[in-house]
Amino acid sequence: MIAPATPKTFKVRIKRQDGRDQPAYWQEFEVERRPSQNIIAVLQQIAANPVTTAGEQVEPVVWDSGCLEEVCGSCTMVINGHVRQSCSALVPDLLEDADDNTITVEPMTKFPVVRDLFVDRQRMFDNLVKVKAWVPIDGTHDLGEGPKESPEKQQERYAISRCMTCGCCLEACPQFTLDNDFLGAQAIAQAYYFNEHETGKKLKGERLEALAGPGGVADCGNAQNCVKVCPKEIPLTEAIAKAGRQLTVHAVKKFFTGK
Amino acid sequence: MADSPRVIVVGGGLAGLAASVRVAEAGLPVDLFSMVPVKRSHSVCAQGGINACNKVAAQQGYSEWQHMDETLYGGDFLNHQPPVYEMTHWAPKIINLLDRMGVPFNRTNEGERDLRLFGGSLFKRTHFAGASTGQQLLYGLDEQTRRYEAEGKVNKYEFWEFLWPIVDDSTGEKVCKGIVAQDMRTMEIRAFRADAVVMATGGNGLIYGKSTMSVICTGGAASRCYQAGAALGNPEMIQVHPTAIPGEDKCRLMSESARGEGGRVWVPRTKGDDRHPLDIPENERWYFLEEKYPDYGNLVPRDIATREIFWVCQDGMGIGGGNMVYLDITHLPQATKDKLAAILEIYEKFTGDDPREVPMKIFPAVHYSMGGVYTTYTPYDPDKDTYTPATQPKRKPGEGMLLGDPQNMTTDIAGLYAFGEANYAYHGATRLGANALLSCIFDGLFCGLSVANYARDPKGGKASGVADSVVDRFVEQEKHKVTKLTESHGSNNPYEIHRELGVEMTASATVVKTEERLLQARAKLNELRERYADLKITDTGLYTNQNVSFSRALGDMLIYAQAIIEGSIARKESRGSHYRDDFPDRIDEPFHATTKAWYDPSAEGSCRIEWEPIPLPLVPLRKRDYGAATAKKTDESKEPAAAK
Amino acid sequence: MTAATTSAPVTTRPGAPKPKTRTSVAGPLSQHHFVLRRLHSLSGIVPVGLFVIGHLFTNAQMIWQDNGETFQHEVEFIHSIPALLFIEIALWSAIAFHAGLGLYYTFSGKGNVAAYSYGDNIRYSLQRWTGVIALVFIFFHIATLRWRWDILGLWDTPFYYKGYSVPGMEEQFPALANVPLSAPLTAYALQYSVWVALLYLVGVVAVVFHWSNGLWTAAISWGLTISTGAMKKWGYVCIGLFVALMVFFGAAFVGSLRYDFDAMTPQQKAATLFTVGDGQWAFDDKERLETDLASIGMEAVLLPPEDADETGAAGDERPIVEPSETPGVADDAADHGGDAAH
């Protein structure tokens, strides 16, 4: 419920960029308040009528979105300085701790900007290839049931499997930058996830070798921002620690057995 | 390798990924096109589960046959029986496969896959992975696709939009030989040749403005195939979910378990009462479901609840005169509220209101398109079955589809297939809960082989042999469309047209339809199409131009919408999700038939309707009437599952 | 025509923005990435860390106010260890290895405390800053006290301003001549300048924080603490270690500030004899100093100006005896010197 004293409009400052490697600039829009309004709705309102507070008709803002239910991971943005999904970023909450009745919306900084708020997160998917994030099944033919699994193990794996590759953990990670090769919490957690599956284990050695290389799990500086910004509340730091343990054991074994 | 047959899959949801995996496994290279990274496809949104006869239910008398029967009965017999037979018999195998792929299905103490009850059945036959089964299944297939991608067998084109099928009719028959697609970032338009093309492009919820679907579910791709000459099947069949959270940007599902646990649906007795809900005393609240259905109250079956809520709002009795009613759980004991925590948190997250304190505002929302691109299939024929070992008994004719036959799920354009929600094949007039995920994966896996077989021996020769002039024509057509859009300096805002389209379609062609209202919609659509011809585009650049993409899809949505309206007008009966207030009964003669809609710019609504009778080789027609007792039981049976 | 080419296999994603080449370390560094990382962790914890504990424990003996006797005893014990040089070389190598890689790792990330001011994130940044501070501090500490470097004269060091010498001392007290005598030197330095005191305070806090926080993160990296609960509990242990080491340091610090130079034995005085650029003596009582020196047959002699120049002193000739104020703290220390000397 909007209190009667609440202004009918608010301002949105959007960091825009016309293309890759182009200079970024800010534009400000005045937007009408509506009930249950989130940042996506705000962007839709702007798209329908892209006129800045200065009265300038501009090109509509480009952004990435999908399900709008916080499961597809598309609409990650930096809103009021914090990375999050814009579909679940509600205007009243954002205005509550904002100055001047203004919300700022920026693209993620750890990925190259395609245009405006739309960034290229291909690196996250490439990292999944690096850690061989799949179960090496024999094929799609009917070979009966999969391996049994305890409910506890399922619960542990399920929590990690909810990762929607949104990139919040990487955006907030001080160790993950545009130009280094750190894998980050997402890929490390996925590597651990597959190491814990009975068939997925077959590639454990290869995954751990990938985690041992440059940008691997040892590069994690334990700032633990990832777990705090994860919209799916995935126990990322625990997954990283568990991957670290697997790697320690693996390295010791390898040292003594040579394989 | 250079001249190896190639397959294009458009869409990276469950159906598209399953198809990619199956075709790649069959040894053909796959080009996979998706408007979004495939892992973000709309399949992630499915929460409930996936149905299959399992070993526990089988020992209690359940069978694949019964699963098929439930699906046909639920679909009010508008679904073809052989495909449904095949799908339900494959279901256990599909679950096993997904299990082997590492999908974290919930487990019992002994490590077996756990099961839940779901609507339309008295047996526990629904497998689930937490509260995000669709997401988990999609990821399982995404991972396998990535594996093939790493091996170079699947080539992904993410952020590429399908624009048009390349249809070669030089031989007198329409044969698909590839697609024209556009990179949504660089705006490059290119032709991609292929010997077979699979459309796995999902539903069309955006035609209704706000639905429970993702922003990419415009139905644009299906509409383009329709315009290129593929018929639509049952376009009027749209599933509406009774309780959704209306939002500024979309509608989000509110599980029925809220009602199951004692939630009460009401509106203020006085029209236009704008007091805070908690300030409205008990005697001034209208519990209309409880009043009209004293026996079942808030637990009336889905379609009745949907219609009642709809009617109340049509009468202007909705909250603030709008399209919303209260779903109130504030009176429930804390323990019950705790049990519902997961779904209550979703409400709180997206509305900012705590449903434990303030009644929720809900309204029915478009949820699934049963209709879609018309597809055919080859029924099982023991004489043509080359897969069943000679030592094993063969099935009877019509029991299922013929594995590997190139006809399976092909559209009216040869070499163009439609899988998953994009086709019309499995759900008839209503889809059963937890059957959608199954049908999508089944299409990909079962019919994927058909695609591979066809691509090895395509009609009209190899795609690489098609004359450049044929291909270039389509590229030029699409480039011209973009030029026309970027040079549109007319007076109509595309977002406004879309808003009006959504409002019109929701009001005329969702829960309750009447001839009168549909005719009004027909006129409105004509008006919108006229206005569409005079668009105002604010972004005229040629780099990552979402305005162009959206406006182009809007034109296709308008054409698809016309087919929905024409189908709804033509089907003068009530069946499944299609409820005609002026024809409230099911009329099997002549309407036990598929609405086959052909694109015809000269016809009313650019749409020509044909009726195609539906054979009944396995199960005879019977009245779809969940007995009162059953209805109640079914609804209750959903609760323990959904509340989890 | 180019638009209508067949969809041949493509190696790069068409239309995808060009990937930026990311910095990666060539050769052995990337080949043995993991081993180096673990050795980095280990080299910080074990040789360096354990040495620091021992060092701080030894220094803490300064608190006894016994003119550094207990402390000196410990120091002498250390110096009596055979092949000390090898141990020292090992330590220096460990420090150099840890610091070298540490610097490289530090610059591979980019702190973002301003945007995400969570405790763990602040410690991430602090770990890197304290590493750099510790490196600078340790270098100066060792260079000035152990190697007796006078760093380019920039380090206007009060540690060993070689204004005076005691000829014949080295022959007469060979043992003393080789002893670094860090206690009185450091004590004087701390008393002499607030800046030195502050440098030591910051430097040691940085070292101790870096070590105890490093211990916390190492437990995660090695996979010893894998649950959030375990990380938390181990965190308390690390805080405990931090506090314990800070107590050691506090003892050394306070002990140094209260150090009474005049209470030293004549031999110690001879070995410790020094002055500072502005002519301030470490000793309050010039006459007693001279008497003490005379009692062991010694005499302080002003070094020739050029010699002093070489070591960075101002060339001015200064009188040997020019009583002046010692730092205030030393006065206090002198007052209490008798009480503590037991």
Which of C110, C215, C224 is the best residue to mutate to test the A interface, defined by the most A CB atoms within 10 Å of its own CB? Answer: C110
For residue B613 the two structure tokens come to: 């009778």
**Chain B positions in Cβ-Cβ contact with residue C5 (cut-off 8 Å):** 190-191
pLDDT at B295: 79
Q: What is the pLDDT of residues A130-142, one digit of tens each?
A: 999 999 999 999 9
- Identify whether A129 is part of a domain: yes
**Taking a C-beta distance cutoff of 8 angstroms, is the pair B189, C14 a contact?**
no
**Taking a C-beta distance cutoff of 8 angstroms, is the pair B442, B90 a contact?**
yes
Residues A127 and A252 in one domain: yes
For residue B357 the two structure tokens come to: 């304190």
Partner-chain residue, chosen from A19, A60, A199, that has the shortest CB–CB distance to B539? A60
Residues A152 and A182 in one domain: yes
Q: What is the pLDDT of residues A238-252, one digit of tens each?
A: 999 999 999 999 999
Q: Is B434 exposed, middle or buried (0-12, 13-18, 19+ CB in 10 A)?
A: buried
Question: B472 and C10 in contact by Cβ < 8 A?
Answer: no
Q: Is B206 exposed, middle or buried (0-12, 13-18, 19+ CB in 10 A)?
A: buried
Rounded Cα gap, residues C298 and C321, in angstroms: 15
Rounded Cα gap, residues A47 and B272, in angstroms: 32
**Chain B positions in Cβ-Cβ contact with residue C12 (cut-off 8 Å):** none
In the predicted model, is pLDDT for residue C245 greater than 70? Answer: yes
Give mean pLDDT in consecutive 10-residue pieces for chain B, a chain of 644 residues.
84 98 97 97 90 91 94 94 97 96 95 84 86 94 97 97 96 95 96 98 95 95 98 96 90 84 92 90 93 82 84 90 92 88 87 93 94 97 90 92 96 97 95 91 97 96 93 97 92 94 94 96 97 92 92 97 98 95 94 97 95 96 66 39 33
Rounded Cα gap, residues B389 and C300, in angstroms: 110
Neighbouring residues of B406: CB distance < 8 A, sequence distance ≥ 6: B450, B451, B453, B454, B457
Question: B132 and A162 in contact by Cβ < 8 A?
Answer: yes
pLDDT at A2: 46
**Chain C positions in Cβ-Cβ contact with residue A82 (cut-off 8 Å):** 115-116
Residue B6 half-sphere exposure toward CB, CA atoms < 13 A: 23
Neighbouring residues of B269: CB distance < 8 A, sequence distance ≥ 6: B284, B285, B286
Note the pTM of the prediction, 2 decimals: 0.90
Tell me the C-alpha to C-alpha distance, in Å, between residue B320 and each of B323, B353, B361: 8, 17, 11
Q: Which of A114-118, B468-472, C82-86, C253-257 has the lowest mean pLDDT?
A: C82-86
pLDDT at C29: 66
Rounded Cα gap, residues B186 and B543, in angstroms: 5
pLDDT at B626: 65
Residues A154 and A245 in one domain: yes
If phi over 0 gives left and psi between -120 and 50 gives alpha, with beta otherwise, what is residue B619? beta
Residues A169 and A236 in one domain: yes
Question: B468 and C17 in contact by Cβ < 8 A?
Answer: no
Which of C25, C39, C120, C215 is the best residue to mutate to test the A interface, defined by the most A CB atoms within 10 Å of its own CB? Answer: C120
Neighbouring residues of B405: CB distance < 8 A, sequence distance ≥ 6: B377, B378, B384, B450, B453
In the predicted model, is pLDDT for residue A158 greater than 50? Answer: yes
**Chain B positions in Cβ-Cβ contact with residue A44 (cut-off 8 Å):** 248-249, 495
Which residues in B566-606 belong to E strands, given as ranges?
593-599
Active site residues of B: 302
Question: A162 and B144 in contact by Cβ < 8 A?
Answer: no
Question: C22 and A228 in contact by Cβ < 8 A?
Answer: no
For residue B601 the two structure tokens come to: 């710019």
Question: C221 and A213 in contact by Cβ < 8 A?
Answer: no
Residues A135 and A246 in one domain: yes
How many cross-chain Cβ pairs, B to C, lie less than 8 Å apart?
47
Domain C-terminal end among A74, A95, A119: A119
Provide the 3-class DSSP secondary structure of residue B361: strand
Structural domains for chain C: 33-107+114-261 (1.20.1300.10)
In the predicted model, is pLDDT for residue C22 greater than 80? Answer: no
For residue A105 the two structure tokens come to: 């919306």
Rounded Cα gap, residues B523 and C48, in angstroms: 83
Spatial CA neighbour of A53 closest among A11, A112, A95: A11
Rounded Cα gap, residues B141 and B139, in angstroms: 5
Beta bridge partners of B10: B33, B199
- Identify whether A89 is part of a domain: yes
Residues A82 and A166 in one domain: no
For residue C160 the two structure tokens come to: 């060993």
Residues A128 and A242 in one domain: yes
In the predicted model, is pLDDT for residue C165 greater than 70? Answer: no
Largest pairwise CA distance in chain B: 76
Q: What is the pLDDT of residues C67-106, one digit of tens each?
A: 777 777 777 777 778 888 888 888 889 999 999 999 999 9
- Identify whether A192 is part of a domain: yes
Residues A19 and A65 in one domain: yes
Q: Is C157 exposed, middle or buried (0-12, 13-18, 19+ CB in 10 A)?
A: buried
Q: Tell me the residue range of the domain where A231 lies.
A: 122-257
Say yes or no: C9 contacts chain B, CB-CB below 8 A.
yes
In the predicted model, is pLDDT for residue C342 greater than 90? Answer: no
pLDDT at B356: 94
pLDDT at B191: 97
Residues A54 and A137 in one domain: no
CA of C227, closest CA in chain B: separation in Å? 21
Domain C-terminal end among A70, A99, A119: A119
For residue B407 the two structure tokens come to: 């006809």
Partner-chain residue, chosen from B159, B192, B468, that has the shortest CB–CB distance to C7? B192
In A, minimum Cα distance to C215 occurs at: A222
In the predicted model, is pLDDT for residue A258 greater than 80? Answer: no
**Does A24 or C334 have the greater pLDDT score?**
A24
For residue B182 the two structure tokens come to: 């556009």
In the predicted model, is pLDDT for residue C162 greater than 80? Answer: no
Phi, psi of A83, deg, nearest 5? -80, 140
- Identify whether A159 is part of a domain: yes
- Identify whether A1 is part of a domain: no
For residue B293 the two structure tokens come to: 């259905």
CA of B452, closest CA in chain A: separation in Å? 15
Provide the 3-class DSSP secondary structure of residue C321: coil
Spatial CA neighbour of C276 closest among C162, C154, C143: C162
Rounded Cα gap, residues B618 and B400, in angstroms: 10
Q: ipTM beyond 0.90?
A: yes
Question: A197 and B102 in contact by Cβ < 8 A?
Answer: yes
Angle CA B184–B185–B190, to nearest 5: 60
Spatial CA neighbour of B221 closest among B441, B409, B422, B477: B422
Neighbouring residues of A32: CB distance < 8 A, sequence distance ≥ 6: A8, A9, A45
Domain of A19, CATH number, reads: 3.10.20.30
- Identify whether A4 is part of a domain: no
pLDDT at B632: 40
In the predicted model, is pLDDT for residue A87 greater than 60? Answer: yes
pLDDT at B297: 82
Structural domains for chain B: 7-240+369-465 (3.50.50.60), 241-365 (3.90.700.10), 472-578 (1.20.58.100)
**Taking a C-beta distance cutoff of 8 angstroms, is the pair A13, A102 a contact?**
yes
**Taking a C-beta distance cutoff of 8 angstroms, is the pair B6, B411 a contact?**
no
Rounded Cα gap, residues B517 and B526, in angstroms: 14
- Identify whether A36 is part of a domain: yes
Residues A127 and A237 in one domain: yes
Number of H helices, E strands in chain C: 15, 2
Partner-chain residue, chosen from B112, B351, B352, that has the shortest CB–CB distance to A148? B112
Residues A16 and A61 in one domain: yes
Measured from the Cβ of residue C175, the count of other Cβ atoms closer than 10 Å reads: 11
Residues A126 and A89 in one domain: no
Spatial CA neighbour of B346 closest among B481, B250, B474, B433: B250
Domain C-terminal end among A65, A89, A119: A119
Rounded Cα gap, residues B26 and B445, in angstroms: 11
**Taking a C-beta distance cutoff of 8 angstroms, is the pair B67, B46 a contact?**
no
Question: A68 and B252 in contact by Cβ < 8 A?
Answer: yes
Question: A241 and C231 in contact by Cβ < 8 A?
Answer: yes
- Give chain C's contact residues with A (Cβ, < 8 Å): 13, 16-17, 19-20, 22-25, 29-30, 33-35, 37-38, 105, 108-112, 115-116, 118, 120-121, 123-125, 127-128, 216-217, 220-228, 231
Q: A126 falls in which pLDDT band (50, 70, 90)? A: very high
Partner-chain residue, chosen from A62, A148, A150, that has the shortest CB–CB distance to B546? A62
For residue B242 the two structure tokens come to: 């009774």
Question: C17 and A123 in contact by Cβ < 8 A?
Answer: no
Rg (CA), chain B: 24
**Taking a C-beta distance cutoff of 8 angstroms, is the pair C4, B466 a contact?**
no
Specify the number of domains making up chain A: 2
Rounded Cα gap, residues B236 and B580, in angstroms: 11
- Identify whether A107 is part of a domain: yes
In A, minimum Cα distance to B142 occurs at: A134
